[in-house]
Amino acid sequence: MLRFIIRRLLVTVPMVLVVVSLTWGLIRLAPGNFYTGEKPIPAPILKNLRDKYGLDKPWYVQYGKMISNTLHGDFGSSLKYQGQSVNTILKSALPVSATIGFLAYVLALTVGVTFGALAALRQNSQLDYSSMALAMVGISLPNFVLGPLLVLVLSLTWYVFPPALWGGASHLVLPVLTLSGLYMAYIARLARAGMLEVLRSNYIRTARAKGLSEWRVITRHALRGGLLPVVSFSGPALAFLLTGTVVVERIFALPGLGNYFINANLNRDEPLIIGIVAFISIAVLVFNLLVDIAYGFLDPRVRYS
Amino acid sequence: MKKLSLLALLSAAAVTIAGCGAKAQTAEYFGKTEPPSGQEMRYITGSEPESLDPQVSTGQPEARVYLALYEGLTEYHPVTGEAMPAIAERWEPNADNSEFTFHLRHNARFSNGDPITAGDFVYTLRRGLAPALAARAAYLAYYIKGAQAYNEGRGRAEDIGIQAIDDFTLKITLTQPLPFLDGLMAHQFFRVLPQKTIEKYGDAWTEPAHIVTSGAFKVETWRHYDRLILVRDPMNWDAARVKLDRITFYPLEDVTTMMNLYKAGEVDAVYNHTVPYAWVDQIRHLPDYMDKPEVAIEYYGINTTKPPMNDLRVRKAFNLAVDKSALAEYRRVVKPLTSFTPEGIFPKYPRPTGDGFDPQRGRDLLAEAGFSGADGKFDPSKFPASSLEILYNTTESNKQTAEFVQAQWKQNLGITIPLKNMEWKTFLDERAKLRFSGFSRQGWIADYMDPYSFLDLFSTPTGENGTGWFDPKYKAMLEEANRQPDPQKRYELLAKAESYMLEAQPIVPLWTSGSDWLKKPYVKGMYSNPIILHPWKYVYIEHDRSKWNSDPLPAITSN
């Protein structure tokens, strides 16, 4: 098990390097630069700018610097936000995204698994139909529609929750609801499908034959196997939820990583883009690893040597 | 069942939306109008400030903040946007406007209590022009003697034409006559900076823990992408006049979110051009809506280097075939424009009218240019329309304009010019390098209140104006106008130069922008001035409802 984890962690390093290299190349291909704006910049000032940021150095020097920065975990200073280091930005933005993402995930998991499992246990009942219909709505309703709808009803019509900004607990409600909608619906469907399959399997029949109570059959045996699809979905989902979601952060004006990321791209802010991409790819790899480990615990058939 | 719940949800949403719309139309103001308890202002300022260093960043979002944090020799008048005294109590130019002497007030101080002297202004300008700082707005100082040479790394800082005669007298020597220098000095690039702090902390001097400022407010907290909180600075020489205790700037870019926050009463005012097109009709009749002409224009630049647009007759024809009044009516919040300087901003400037709407003449000109059939009349099928394009950066509003202009040309000339949209930076690159054929969207907001801020755009040969048009005669005409000491005579000469440029038709003028922003009725001392920059020390919250309907003029700083 330990060897497995170490091996997977070691693979992370070259993979992150490949990802940042590709990103770096793509930034180079995109026209424009961080300093271009509506007002044209006279030639002498352009020269000063290019000298200051070393933009006229050969590409391999600039690339080497980027790789070395990435390996040291220090991505340098943002080009757009002068005087701010990328690491400071990551440190300030991550807690915001992570808070929203984590709460949304917990909400999605709790509601999704509860309704998914209940729907499976009461297959073809009213409860099954209505919760799956609602899940369908959740999946079809993109968050850029759900968010404004919630704002319209809960902020502008009833003035219950603030429509945007980052502050107290009341500011969390709408973004968390918006963000969790899709995941909640998806998890409910996955849980239902997983449970249905497991409930028909032989080991559940065996458990029942042993005379176990229905509650025990479900919690000890059925859920463990039935939730495997949810677990494998959770890895990448958590990675994306925790590292910032562009649409929700924009609609609710949250100072999270997603907002930085989209603007860094629009601004051609190379160090910031590289920093965020490296961070997100590490998160995705680590969460996938966690999922694989969780599999081992949940399903006795999967064991790593 | 599935269908039912979806239907129920949609109809619930529809009812809410309809109900909301009906309510807004009958309301006295837009949304909640509960003033904040004290003298506290909450304002949406646009994108996240790049920096709090006024010489490093160039954008409008930062400029709005700098009016609170830094003071220059002069300041923008809250109502007219023209120059008024700030740290300089008074100033006088020499006979031909090529040398200005500023007399500084003796009680001006930085936020750490240090006195502000003429030497600080000398330092500020030298720092801004230092090649190592690579300030993007440094070109604004190129009118000052020796400034360009130093910025290009050829000259010495000591040779820049700025001199502290004594602690409170400052002399600025220019390379050319510049009657509007006082207006230029209000620009953020020239606002005075604390030498000791900058030298001590380097790039980190703008961090809240170190920053020292010169304006009526100082930094309390800066949480990036969240809020920037400023509080009144008791050290400021004019602190007694400052009414607000605190200003919170929210960096926000999504206009719908801004409207939501405004409507829910979470902010008191938003910056300009923020009311979404679809909302304008619902809001414009309410007292919240600020609608005045702005010192900003929108136009299409023509790539004059490629055929068929290198033919003056073709360029003229396309301009003649756009009904600017109809366009303005369609855009609702703007005024039609046929010249290159904005309408209704410079009352004494004899603005040329340019060509109006005359599609017949347009068709005749195109026939003359060789696109005619056997009968000698213009034949649209002969025109290479598909080789041209209307290029714009991707926004809903730019698309609507492009479609309108496209329809005009289709209707009036029978030509369909394809549309092409691009992401912002890609668009800028394409436009600057003249890699498009036909037309590209352009806009310009003046750096200072003078027609020259517009006319100067075409005075460089580098093609940075996105049209490739340059004429040394035009440049000479501008220079001659600026040498003229009499302001009215100068305006006349500038107008002549503008006519000359319009004759060459490197552009299709579209409109003078409308300010298009919102403020709550209890926000006073904040006016829809043409430059849409607000000197915050005049702004206050009026808690007495009976005074909400009047907008008293400010008691302006006197000497």
Q: Convert the pLDDT of each residue in B535-544 to its tens digit.
A: 999 999 999 9
pLDDT in the model for residue B507: 95
Decide which of B293 and B25 is more confident.
B293
Q: Which residues contact A224 (CB under 8 A, 6 or more apart)?
A: A298, A299
**A30, closest residue in chain B (CA to CA):** B426
Q: Give the global pTM.
A: 0.89
Which residues in chain B are closer than 8 Å to A45, comparing Cβ atoms? 134-136, 138-139, 151
Give the pLDDT band (50/70/90) at residue B462: low
Residue A143 to chain B, least CA–CA distance (Å):
14
| Site from B6, B9, B50 to mutate, A interface, most A CB atoms within 10 angstroms | B50
Question: What's the rounded Cα separation, in Å, for the pair B333 and B323?
Answer: 16
Query: Two tokens at A207?
Result: 């458990």
pLDDT in tens, B195-252: 999 999 998 899 999 999 999 999 999 999 999 999 999 999 999 999 999 999 999 9
In the predicted model, what is the mean pLDDT of chain B? 90
Residue B19: the pLDDT is 40
pLDDT at B283 over 50: yes
Q: Which of B15, B58, B136, B395 to mutate to test the interface with A (most CBs of A within 10 A)?
A: B136
Does the distance separating the beta carbons of B428 and A38 come in below 8 Å? yes
- Region B148-155 average pLDDT: 94
Helix axes A270-298, A2-29, angle to 10 degrees: 150
Q: How many CA atoms lie within 13 A of B499 on its CB side?
A: 11
Q: Do B224 and A263 touch (CB under 8 A)?
A: no
**pLDDT given at position B8:** 44
Q: What is the pLDDT of residues B48-93, one digit of tens each?
A: 999 999 999 888 899 999 999 999 999 999 999 989 999 999 999 9
Chain B residues with beta carbon closer than 8 angstroms to that of A49: 134, 136
Contacts of B238 (CB under 8 A, 6+ apart): B216, B537, B557
Summarize the confidence of residues B394-399 as an average pLDDT: 90
**Which secondary structure element, helix H or strand E, spans residue A267, and what is its range?**
helix A257-267
| Residue B463, pLDDT score | 57
Task: Convert the pLDDT of each residue in A157-178 to its tens digit.
Answer: 888 899 999 988 999 999 999 9
pLDDT tens track for B324-339: 999 999 988 899 999 9
A224, A199 in Cβ contact below 8 A? no
pLDDT at residue number B420: 95
- CA B95 to CA B100: how far, in whole Å? 10
Q: How many angstroms separate the CA of residue B108 from the nearest CA in chain A?
A: 28
**Helix, strand or coil, per DSSP, at residue B42:** strand
- Is the torsion defined by CA of A67, A68, A70, A75 positive or negative? negative
Q: Under an 8 A CB cutoff, do B263 and A156 touch?
A: yes
- Does the distance separating the beta carbons of A51 and B131 come in below 8 Å? yes
Q: How many CA atoms lie within 13 A of A137 on its CB side?
A: 18
Shortest alpha-carbon distance between residue A167 and chain B (Å): 9
CA distance A164 to chain B (A): 7
Is A93 close to B423, i.e. CB distance below 8 A? Answer: no
Of A83, A93, A165, the CB nearest to B250: A165
Partner-chain contact B132 A163, CB within 8 Å: no
- Residue A246: its pLDDT value, please? 87
Write down the pLDDT at residue A38.
77
Asked if B226 lies within 8 A of A39 by C-beta distance, the reply is no
pLDDT means per 10 residues in chain A (305 residues)? 85 92 93 83 89 90 93 91 90 92 94 94 92 92 92 90 90 94 94 93 90 89 89 85 85 92 92 94 89 80 62
Q: How far apart are CA A113 and CA A231, in angstroms?
A: 11
Preferred mutation among B34, B260, B297 to probe A, highest tally of A CBs within 10 A = B260
Interchain CB distance below 8 Å, A43 and B138: no
The percent of residues above 90 in pLDDT, for chain B, comes to 76
Cis peptide before B380 (omega within 30 of 0): no
Q: How many residues does chain B have?
A: 559
- Flag the least confident range among B17-31, B56-70, B86-100, B387-401: B17-31
Q: How confident is the model at residue B277 (pLDDT cuts 50, 70, 90)?
A: confident
Q: Which residues of A touch B50 (CB under 8 A)?
A: 80-82
pLDDT value of position B24: 41
Query: Which residues on chain A are in Cβ contact (under 8 Å) with B2?
Result: 129, 132-133, 136
Answer yes or no: is pLDDT of B27 > 80: no
Looking at residue B291, what is its pLDDT? 87
Q: What is the pLDDT of residues A99-147, one digit of tens each?
A: 999 999 999 999 999 999 999 999 999 999 999 999 999 999 998 999 9
Q: How far is B187 from chain A (nearest CA, A)?
A: 15
Q: Counting beta carbons within 10 angstroms of the beta carbon of residue B509, is it exposed (0 to 12), middle (13 to 18) or buried (19 or more)? A: buried
pLDDT on residue A225 = 86
Token digits of residue B157: 């800082």
Chain A residue with minimum CA distance to B7: A137
- CB under 8 A, 24+ apart: contacts of A23-26: A23/A273, A23/A274, A23/A277, A24/A63, A24/A66, A24/A270, A24/A274
Does residue B367 have a pLDDT over 60?
A: yes
Per the CB < 8 Å rule, is B224 touching A45?
no
Cβ separation of A41 and B148 shorter than 8 Å? Answer: no
CA distance B69 to B115: 16
Looking at residue A39, its amino acid is K
B264: nearest CB among A32, A53, A162: A162
Å between A275 CA and nearest CA of chain B: 17
Instruction: Examine the pLDDT at B447 and tell me if it is beyond 90.
Output: no
Which residues in B lie closer than 8 A to residue A134 (C-beta atoms)? 5
Q: Mark yes or no for CB contact A40/B465 under 8 Å.
A: yes
Instruction: Please give the residue that has the higher pLDDT: either B2 or B432.
Output: B432
Structure ipTM: 0.89
3-state per-residue secondary structure call for B343-395:
CCCCCCCCCCCCCCCCHHHHHHHHHHCCCECCCCCECHHHCCHHHCEEEEECC
Nearest-by-Cβ selection for B252 from A149, A253, A268: A253
- Give the residue from chain B lying closest to A156, CA to CA: B264
How would residue B559 be classed by pLDDT, with cut points 50, 70 and 90? Answer: very low
